[in-house]
Amino acid sequence: MNTHPTPHIRANQQYQLVLYDRLDAAVQAELSDLSAEPGFYGILEPNDPESGLPVKAVDTDTALLFLTLQQAGPVPHYVTVSLGARSRQSIADLVLNDVLEIATPDGSHWVSGVQAHTVLQPGRATGSATNHTITQLSEAAVRYGQLLAADQLAVNELAQRLYAYNAIPISAEWRRQLPDTDAVEAFLGIDARAMQPQFDRVQSAEPNGWLTFRAHHNRPMRQRLGYKLYVSPQPRYLPAIWPQLVAIFAQHDVHAFKVGGTVQGLLRPDKLVAYLPSLTALHALADTLQAELAHVPAQGVPFTAPIDAAGLLSWGMDPPNAANDVVWHGRQSWRLWIAGQLATALVAAQHADIAVEPWRFALDKLTLLGVATATWTPEQTLWQQHGEQ
């Protein structure tokens, strides 16, 4: 918020806050799962049902801020004290999601959502700051998303398309070669007995057919949050390097790893993910892999932080459980969180009167939320309460 030294904000006048206990029984039934969540307060309900604004489920922190800002003013002192450097991202998120409104620089109007872009804009042109393969892939994905949003694609579907960007199409040949999980295991040469000294095969709780392995020395990750190293070779090269990968994982502090267990899973860009307890451990593993696998052609995972020039190795860090989300979400990955934020911004920007293209607005929004889109890494303040000490 760089155009106003002490930006004034207020609760969005188009919403009213309703405590869960005061909702109709039918609405309470719809929110029964959320009502059991710690910190759940109620909903923000549009004053005008025809406004097009969605109903938003909110936690107690958001409710307190909404009530506090019934009278306009600067960011409350308690917010800056409790959130510190993260207060900027949190307030920007609430403004961009229409929970709060912000005054224009001349004080003549109150704006929120897409219309707040000119007030909140970081003040720099958004786009690729480097020529790195993954940075270019990520920008191409957002541009592609703009085209899909123009075709009236729904937010959820658009987010899934962004998330799957750079997957290899499933050809008839690939489908014949990998008809099921047994065929995938044979293709990779997975031998549970050979892996037994280092890793146990575990039943994955994730739905999409992952083959998951956990190290014997595994220690619980702090607050279930870990660092993820993506290894993204062209799929036909994966069988040749599989034994080498497992051996290297065993030599490093890899808590667990997973690989796509279906033809679709092996053709997706993020086909192989290793979980580590710290960024230091991740980079140590990446250094070894980079030296050993420099000859392997890369596929590349959009919306991840690049490590090597080719895009074979990159990393991410999953967000906390809806720590600052306006709407309650289930646990999601870094890339899903990114895809969801981009999709929401692209759809919102399609018919808005703003001076930038929707894809640039979407990247600006991520920058405001604490994502460095030149490298696709979270700023230190974004996940700082969960980060490495």
Give strand pairing partners of 213.
201, 257
Burial of 381 (0-12, 13-18, 19+ CB in 10 A): middle
> Do 18 and 112 belong together in one domain?
yes
Q: What is the pTM of this model?
A: 0.76
Give the tens place of pLDDT for each residue, 77-127.
Answer: 999 898 887 787 788 889 888 899 999 888 888 988 877 877 777 554 444
Tokens 């990998």, residue located: 178
Q: What are phi and psi of 274, to 5 degrees?
A: -110, 140
> Do 194 and 285 belong together in one domain?
yes
Strand ranges in the chain using DSSP code E only, listed in sequence order: 9-11, 15-19, 40-46, 56-59, 100-103, 110-111, 199-202, 210-215, 227-231, 256-260, 272-276, 305-306, 313-317, 371-372, 377-378
Distance, in Å, from the CA atom of 303 to the CA atom of 305, rounded to the nearest integer, reads 7
Decide: 356 and 366 in contact? Cβ < 8 Å: no
Give the domain CATH number at 264.
Answer: 3.30.2430.10
Confidence of residue 207 (pLDDT cuts 50, 70, 90): low
Give the tens place of pLDDT for each residue, 118-163.
Answer: 777 755 444 444 568 899 999 999 999 999 988 888 899 999 999 9
Domain that holds residue 218: 172-299
> Do 189 and 273 belong together in one domain?
yes
Burial of 94 (0-12, 13-18, 19+ CB in 10 A): buried
> Do 361 and 291 belong together in one domain?
no
Distance, in Å, from the CA atom of 335 to the CA atom of 315, rounded to the nearest integer, reads 10
Among the residue ranges 35-44, 189-198, 290-299, the one predicted with the least confidence is 189-198
Q: What is the per-residue pLDDT for 125?
A: 45
Greater model confidence, 315 or 379: 315
Q: Flag whether 207 is in a domain.
A: yes
> Do 251 and 364 belong together in one domain?
no
**Arithmetic mean of pLDDT over the chain:** 84
Q: Flag whether 307 is in a domain.
A: no
Q: Flag whether 156 is in a domain.
A: no
Distance, in Å, from the CA atom of 314 to the CA atom of 16, rounded to the nearest integer, reads 43
Q: Flag whether 313 is in a domain.
A: no
Q: Flag whether 162 is in a domain.
A: no
The three-state (H, E, C) secondary structure of 110-159, written as one string: EECHHHHHHHHCCCCCCCCCCCCHHHHHHHHHHHHHHHHHHCCCCHHHHH
Distance, in Å, from the CA atom of 263 to the CA atom of 184, rounded to the nearest integer, reads 7
Of 303, 307, 305, 270, nearest to 288 by C-alpha is 307
Decide: 231 and 274 in contact? Cβ < 8 Å: yes
Q: What is the per-residue pLDDT for 329?
A: 36
Average pLDDT value for residue range 189-193 = 76
For the chain, first and last CA: distance in Å?
A: 28
Specify the amino acid at residue 167: A
Distance, in Å, from the CA atom of 205 to the CA atom of 201, rounded to the nearest integer, reads 12
Q: Flag whether 135 is in a domain.
A: no
* Sheet containing strand 100-103, strands side by side: 9-11, 100-103, 110-111
> Do 280 and 219 belong together in one domain?
yes
Distance, in Å, from the CA atom of 362 to the CA atom of 290, rounded to the nearest integer, reads 32
Q: Flag whether 315 is in a domain.
A: no
Q: What is the per-residue pLDDT for 201?
A: 83
For residue 235 the two structure tokens come to 């799929």
Give strand pairing partners of 39.
none
Decide: 370 and 92 in contact? Cβ < 8 Å: no
Confidence of residue 387 (pLDDT cuts 50, 70, 90): very low
Q: What is the per-residue pLDDT for 328?
A: 31
Burial of 316 (0-12, 13-18, 19+ CB in 10 A): buried
Give the tens place of pLDDT for each residue, 286-317.
Answer: 999 999 999 999 999 999 999 999 999 999 98
**How many domains are there within the chain?**
2
Confidence of residue 322 (pLDDT cuts 50, 70, 90): very low
Q: Flag whether 318 is in a domain.
A: no
Confidence of residue 54 (pLDDT cuts 50, 70, 90): confident
